[in-house]
Amino acid sequence: MEKIENSIEGKGGSPLLDESGSALNNSHVRRDGKAVGFVLVHAGAGYHSESKAKEYKHVCKRACLRAVDKLKAGAKAVEAVTAALIELEDSPFTNAGTGSNLNLSGEIECDASIMDGKSLHYGAVGALSGIKNPVLVARRLLSEAQKGKLSAGRIPPCFLVGRGAQQWAENHGIPPCPSEKMATKFSLSAYKRNKRKMELAEKVETEQIQAKKRRQLNEHVNNDSACLDTVGAIVVDQEGNVAAAVSSGGLAMKHPGRVGQAAHYGCGCWAQNACNISPYSTAVSTSGCGEHLIRTMLARECSTAMQSENAHQALLEVMQSQFISSPFLASEDCVLGGVIVLRCCRCVDTQSSPNLQALLVEFLWSHTTESMCVGYMSAQDSKAKTHISRLPPGAVAGQSLAIEGGVCRLGSISD
């Protein structure tokens, strides 16, 4: 398997570069008491056409701005990551919330999850219809679980699916939204086109050929419609708390009731604050083929790997050995997925005072798909940076990987 390292991570004190070749600002030191923090978002690992690159980057910028606005207002990481996801879900260009793929029955069913690195609580919904922002339901499940047991000592749910999830959301004040209002012209036309192809295949082929054609068709359906799986975000706030979230409309023409990695624990996202045995706080959000990501629990695997000394090398190795070459995916010849990760730790701020500490944040993204769109921003930045990462010419999607990233120092905090 080919390993492709397209890293922009600085080495030996050399400056870090953004996509335009400009030096990244890695000396965000808070001297005036303003809030600090950092957000990294993705608009899916899949295929991003050049003709729509501007739209993909724009939605990532808006998501970063929403999260940073929350951080500047003093919000915790979990609130900032929720704000970023709402922006990503509301865009008609992403396969999450509004504009999600339609399933075989012509309906929208969404998955989403969120994790708070401080409390380690998690909330998720699967195959959810009729709710404009699935991440809000996941977020509410997380917050309700933090309140403790229900009446008669019942354990509060952290993961709900289908009609039960929708009823729970409405009972907790989250307004319903008709699926027809969440569908877009693009998602509807893609559904009609894909349905015609499937109906034609069913008419003219025998069962054996039909099964093979359906597998090929499913691949073609998702490529042809240029659908992007799973959007997500990861955040670190001024106190060093981390949070992660993910949301998806799932694969085009999926079977009703199918739940992808975006809702599964340890598969769609992961967030965990530093502790005695883990020196780094870590946050991860994934994207790609849900079944591949579920069977490898990639989000948690990446988080664990980030405790290694060299973050870049650790992510490279886990993507290669625990994903592309995973024994759990031995029968797959094309393993598709992508991740955004960050890790942070406190360090003495030598520019200010020995009694002050800064947050050192390393952030990375990696993918085996043709491309992945990301955006990132610190609370001290005036605007977000965006980038569409692509496999180099000649690289084979599903068998090769790209990895990039950077590092920044966030403002001083009292020890």
Domain presence at residue 191: no
- Per-residue pLDDT of the chain (415 residues), as tens digits, is 333 344 333 322 323 333 333 333 433 334 455 678 999 999 999 988 888 899 999 999 999 999 999 999 999 999 999 999 999 999 998 999 999 999 999 999 999 999 999 999 999 999 999 999 999 999 999 999 999 999 999 999 999 999 999 999 999 999 999 888 898 877 877 777 777 777 777 666 555 555 555 554 454 444 433 445 689 999 999 999 999 999 999 998 899 999 999 999 999 999 999 998 889 999 999 999 999 999 999 999 999 999 999 999 999 999 999 999 999 999 999 999 999 999 999 886 666 555 567 899 999 999 999 999 999 999 999 999 999 999 999 999 999 999 999 999 987 654 4
Domain presence at residue 3: no
Domain presence at residue 386: yes
Please, which residues bridge with residue 69 across strands? Answer: none
Domain presence at residue 217: no
Range of the domain at 233: 38-183+226-410
Q: Are strands 269-272 and 281-288 parallel, antiparallel or unpaired?
A: antiparallel
Alpha carbon dihedral 321, 325, 326, 328, in 10-degree steps, equals: 180
Residue 260 phi, psi (nearest 5): -90, -175
Domain presence at residue 145: yes
Domain presence at residue 319: yes
From the centroid of its chain, how far is CA 96? 11
Domain presence at residue 98: yes
In a 3-state reduction of DSSP, which class is residue 4? coil
Residue whose C-alpha is closest to residue 38's, from 240, 236, 238, 239:
236
Domain presence at residue 105: yes
Taking CA 68 as the corner, what is the angle to CA 96 and CA 272, rounded to the nearest 5 degrees?
75
Distances (CA, A) of 23 to 9, 27, 42, 87, 344: 11, 11, 22, 28, 21
Rounded Cα distance between 390 and 45, Å, is 10
Active site residues: 230
Give yes or no for a contact between 244 and 269, defined as CB atoms under 8 angstroms apart: yes
From the centroid of its chain, how far is CA 363? 13
- The domain tally of the chain equals 1
pTM of the model: 0.86
Taking CA 338 as the corner, what is the angle to CA 335 and CA 340, rounded to the nearest 5 degrees?
160
| CATH code where residue 306 lies | 3.60.20.30
**What count of other Cβ atoms lies within 10 Å of the Cβ of residue 120?**
12
